[in-house]
């Protein structure tokens, strides 16, 4: 094992300069780090092709044969070396444009070579431009018939001879050195036998130089399983420790607040999914264990009402509750709707944000500290040190991916005798495999049905040729008393939107103003360069129905709730990600009327953009959309995952390895049910690995 901790500069062919580059460019400090620098693909050189059968342009081929002759063609910069290469079935030209004189000296007519490259066509002739070419020896013949690894590299590394080929040479040196040493196993023998996976050392060596596809598959499965298994084991241990070591407030009764609201104020029947989730939350809060629950639900699925009923349970048991939202607009919206919902029940609701200042803030904080205000709604002002609750029992975090772990930790500390129960809500649907990883330490509830009476939003794709018809449709909808959003893309998510995007927005605004002139039509405009007060003024005009059209950038993605808005026109759709498109579409369809989402795009679309648009037109199901999004972009780029620190997988791919993840989680659960502290001798390896991994890691793991 000590060899794996040896500094990388001590590996033959590395030295100080290359070592510095490997450290800064790839994070490779030791032999072990280099071993964990896995290939991202393999070049299949497991067989020799025949020249006669190789005619498909773009195909990668490998030949064994001899050079019959060489000649130069062209002059000056256009000079090239043409090598006539032959096997027992025919001839092919190998063409070299660079290093012509060097190649001419290196290659020898009549000698047998192994050639590898991509077929291209020049007129009716098939050739290979700049192939790899090596003389046949016993050593490289067996090497030629293999899967050749391709490694991630950078321009700076390539400049020092450490492109993929250079890294492969270092891996071979390391490979030969490690063959002779012991490499500690991490998994119990019984588990490897059950899973039919190779030992760790075998997998670690085979992943770099597999002799065939079967060997590669076994090595990949072993390393993917190990990675996902330890990830799940860690997350499940955190969840188990939290449940057993952290006391939670006991909400024993369902009292007057909950009952009166349910019987007198609830204007519609809850869906089966909402009832199931409330039951799960009640179960958590009634057991005396600390609740950490994620509530996932698509836009419009009724998460807020579940959150409100949960807060009323806290009030019935003598505790306060709070709801924290990422923006002032969203927090005010929650405050307005919850205050209205609770009117006449005698419940005191307060609002706190950065804009609440001076005497008003002082008075509010006093009422919160005395317990007079029972529900406090606001932005991250709620977690400031000067906010002291009388007895906070439940904290709800809306759009939780907008908050970092440190912010959630501060909210946790607001409890006096015990931390408040935590319910985190998100309207960003998360694929199941991602939820198991990002939130594997939380209990997860899903609202997977929409309230009755909600009509599915009709989504249409149009291009510039249909612009006037789209304007005509907007007029029809406005004549019927409806309102329309027109949204322009935003390259950078920042307070100050790029001028290019602002220009697009202003051009669009002018074009729409010409088609919809005052006084018959009124238009709001909202963008990130406006002052907050101006932005809010324009938003409120639209909310009150004083304007029929809102022209905006994506600042409206999370925020305004206007049931009367029935049309969402999204410009330059190809520049939006799938989850963003789905969130924007969710701004309409909030009333009883049929709603529409019109996706405007240019004629030229990349394959990914076409897939995104087709997916939006095909389905309204956020979870299905999230799966497609993850397959297109990869798990690490899904909104909210970058800040989590969980998605740093070297081998596994959550978009493709869902079955391995599910198996890993189930096995980890069974092991911890049987041996919660991993004290049995057969689990000594697991315990040792987790303890070694834990050294030097921070303690945020206790916080959801």
Residues 280 and 406 in one domain: yes
Residues 291 and 385 in one domain: yes
pLDDT on residue 200: 93
Per-residue pLDDT of 229-281, as tens digits, reads 999 999 898 888 877 777 888 999 999 999 999 998 888 889 999 999 999 99
- Whether 531 is covered by a domain: the verdict is yes
Percent of the chain clearing pLDDT 70 (strictly above):
91
Q: How confident is the model at residue 560 (pLDDT cuts 50, 70, 90)?
A: low
CB atoms within 10 A of CB 114: 22
Q: How confident is the model at residue 548 (pLDDT cuts 50, 70, 90)?
A: very high
Say if residue 698's pLDDT is above 50. no
Angle between helices 622-633 and 578-585 (to 10 degrees): 160
Residues 165 and 17 in one domain: yes
How far apart CA 348 and CA 220 sit, in angstroms, is 58
**What residues have CB less than 8 Å from 486, skipping those under 6 apart?**
508, 512, 549, 550, 551, 552, 569, 571
- Name the least confident of 360-374, 538-552, 578-592: 578-592
Q: How confident is the model at residue 444 (pLDDT cuts 50, 70, 90)?
A: confident
Say if residue 31's pLDDT is above 80. yes
Q: Let me know the angle formed at the C-alpha of 397 by 292 and 560, rounded to the nearest 5 degrees.
A: 150
CA nearest to 412, candidates 322, 331, 332: 322
Q: Which domain holds residue 393?
A: 256-447
Residues 420 and 528 in one domain: no
Q: How confident is the model at residue 491 (pLDDT cuts 50, 70, 90)?
A: very low
**What residues have CB less than 8 Å from 618, skipping those under 6 apart?**
none
Three-state DSSP string of 54-101: CCCCCCEEEEEEEEEEEEEECCHHHCEEEEEEEECCEEEEEEECCCHH
Which one has a higher pLDDT value, 543 or 474?
A: 474
Please identify, among 144, 165, 191, the residue that sits at the C-terminal boundary of a domain: 144
Which one has a higher pLDDT value, 224 or 406?
A: 224
- Whether 649 is covered by a domain: the verdict is no
Q: What is the CATH number of the domain that holds 392?
A: 3.40.50.300
Per-residue pLDDT of 516-530, as tens digits, reads 998 899 999 988 778
Say if residue 182's pLDDT is above 90. no
Residues 538 and 463 in one domain: yes
Please identify, among 422, 447, 472, the residue that sits at the C-terminal boundary of a domain: 447
DSSP 455: P
CA nearest to 621, candidates 302, 301, 304: 301
Residues 106 and 68 in one domain: yes
What is the average pLDDT across 477-490?
91
How far apart CA 328 and CA 558 sit, in angstroms, is 11
How far apart CA 104 and CA 117 sit, in angstroms, is 18
pLDDT on residue 124: 77
- Whether 643 is covered by a domain: the verdict is no
Query: Would you state the structure tokens that stand for residue 568, as one six-digit string?
Result: 């969402």
- Whether 416 is covered by a domain: the verdict is yes
CA nearest to 528, candidates 488, 579, 573, 560: 488
pLDDT on residue 63: 93
Domain count, the chain: 4
Say if residue 642's pLDDT is above 50. no
Per-residue pLDDT of 44-80, as tens digits, reads 888 899 999 888 888 889 999 999 999 998 888 888 9
Q: How confident is the model at residue 603 (pLDDT cuts 50, 70, 90)?
A: confident
Say if residue 497's pLDDT is above 60. no
Per-residue pLDDT of 71-112, as tens digits, reads 998 888 888 999 999 999 999 999 999 888 899 989 999 999
Say if residue 22's pLDDT is above 50. yes
pLDDT on residue 508: 87
Q: What is the CATH number of the domain that holds 71?
A: 2.40.50.140
Residues 384 and 478 in one domain: no
Q: For residues 12 and 171, is the Cβ–Cβ distance under 8 A?
A: no
Residues 431 and 482 in one domain: no
Write down how long the chain is.
704
Average pLDDT, the chain: 86
DSSP 4: G
- Whether 388 is covered by a domain: the verdict is yes
Element (H, E) at 38: none
pLDDT on residue 553: 84
What is the average pLDDT across 412-417?
79
Say if residue 645's pLDDT is above 50. no
Say if residue 485's pLDDT is above 60. yes
Please identify, among 447, 474, 509, the residue that sits at the C-terminal boundary of a domain: 447
Residues 438 and 582 in one domain: no
Q: For residues 614 and 608, is the Cβ–Cβ distance under 8 A?
A: no
Percent of the chain clearing pLDDT 90 (strictly above):
51
Residues 290 and 435 in one domain: yes
- Whether 8 is covered by a domain: the verdict is yes
**DSSP-derived 3-state class of residue 663:** helix
Prior bond to 613 cis, omega within 30?
A: no
- Whether 225 is covered by a domain: the verdict is no
pLDDT on residue 641: 46
- Name the least confident of 185-194, 450-459, 561-570: 450-459
pLDDT on residue 46: 82
Residues 173 and 24 in one domain: yes
- Whether 624 is covered by a domain: the verdict is no
Residues 25 and 156 in one domain: yes
């Amino acid at each position: 094992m000590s060899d794996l901790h040896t500094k990388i500069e001590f590996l033959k062919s590395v030295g100080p300069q290359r070592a510095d580059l490997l450290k800064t460019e790839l994070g490779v400090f030791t032999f072990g780090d280099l071993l964990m620098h896995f290939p991202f693909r393999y070049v299949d050189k497991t067989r020799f092709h025949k020249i006669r059968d190789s005619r498909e342009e773009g195909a990668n081929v490998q030949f064994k044969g001899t050079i019959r002759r060489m000649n130069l063609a062209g002059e000056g910069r256009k000079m090239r070396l043409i090598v006539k290469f032959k096997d027992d079935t025919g001839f092919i030209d190998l063409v070299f444009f660079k290093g012509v004189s060097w190649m001419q000296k290196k290659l020898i007519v009549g000698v047998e070579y192994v050639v590898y490259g991509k077929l291209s066509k020049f007129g009716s002739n098939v050739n290979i431009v700049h192939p790899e070419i090596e003389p046949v020896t016993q050593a490289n013949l067996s090497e030629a018939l293999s899967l050749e690894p391709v490694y991630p590299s950078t321009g700076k590394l390539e400049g020092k001879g450490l492109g993929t080929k250079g890294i492969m040479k270092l891996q071979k040196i390391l490979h030969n050195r490690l063959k002779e040493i012991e490499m500690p196993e991490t998994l119990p023998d019984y588990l490897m036998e059950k899973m039919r996976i190779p030992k760790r050392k075998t997998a670690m060596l085979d992943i770099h130089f597999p002799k065939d596809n079967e060997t590669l598959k076994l090595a990949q499965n072993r390393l993917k399983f190990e990675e996902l298994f330890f990830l799940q084991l860690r997350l499940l241990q955190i969840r188990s420790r939290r449940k057993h070591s952290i006391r939670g407030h006991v909400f024993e009764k369902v009292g007057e607040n909950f009952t009166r609201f349910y019987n007198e104020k609830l204007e519609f029947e809850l869906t089966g999914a909402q009832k199931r989730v409330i039951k799960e939350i009640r179960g958590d809060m009634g057991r005396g264990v600390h609740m950490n629950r994620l509530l996932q639900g698509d836009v419009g699925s009724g998460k807020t009402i579940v959150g409100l009923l949960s807060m009323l349970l806290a009030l019935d048991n003598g505790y306060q509750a709070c709801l924290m939202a990422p923006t002032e607009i969203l927090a005010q919206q929650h405050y307005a709707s919850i205050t209205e919902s609770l009117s006449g029940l005698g419940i005191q609701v307060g609002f706190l944000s950065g804009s609440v200042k001076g005497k008003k803030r002082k008075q509010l904080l006093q009422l919160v500290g005395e317990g007079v205000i029972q529900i406090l709604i606001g932005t991250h002002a709620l977690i400031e040190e000067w906010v002291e609750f009388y007895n906070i029992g439940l904290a709800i975090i809306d759009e939780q991916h907008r908050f970092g772990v440190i912010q959630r930790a501060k909210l946790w500390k607001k409890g006096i005798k015990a931390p408040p129960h935590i319910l985190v809500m998100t309207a960003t649907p998360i694929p199941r495999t991602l939820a198991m990883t990002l939130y594997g330490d939380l209990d997860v509830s899903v609202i997977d049905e929409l309230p009755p009476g909600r009509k599915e939003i009709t989504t249409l794709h149009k291009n510039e040729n249909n612009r006037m018809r789209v304007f005509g449709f907007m007029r029809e909808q406005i004549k019927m008393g409806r309102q329309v959003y027109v949204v322009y893309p935003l390259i950078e998510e920042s307070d100050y939107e790029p001028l290019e995007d602002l220009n697009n927005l202003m051009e669009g605004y002018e074009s729409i103003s010409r088609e919809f002139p005052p006084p018959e039509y009124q238009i709001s405009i909202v963008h990130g360069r406006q002052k907050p007060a101006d932005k809010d003024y324009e938003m409120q005009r639209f909310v009150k129905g004083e304007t029929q059209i809102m022209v905006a950038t994506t600042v409206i993605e999370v925020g305004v709730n206007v049931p009367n808005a029935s049309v969402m026109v999204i410009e330059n759709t190809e520049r939006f990600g799938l989850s963003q498109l789905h969130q924007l579409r969710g701004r309409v369809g909030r009333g009883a009327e049929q709603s529409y989402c019109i996706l405007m795009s240019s004629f030229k679309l990349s394959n990914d953009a076409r897939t995104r648009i087709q997916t939006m037109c095909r389905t309204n199901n956020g979870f299905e959309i999230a799966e497609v999004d993850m397959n297109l972009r990869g798990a690490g780029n899904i909104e909210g995952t970058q800040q989590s620190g969980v998605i740093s997988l070297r081998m596994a791919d959550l978009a493709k390895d869902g079955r391995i993840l599910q198996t890993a989680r189930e096995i980890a659960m069974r092991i911890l049910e049987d041996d919660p502290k991993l004290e049995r001798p057969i689990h000594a390896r697991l315990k040792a690995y987790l303890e070694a991994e834990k050294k030097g890691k921070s303690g945020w793991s206790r916080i959801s």
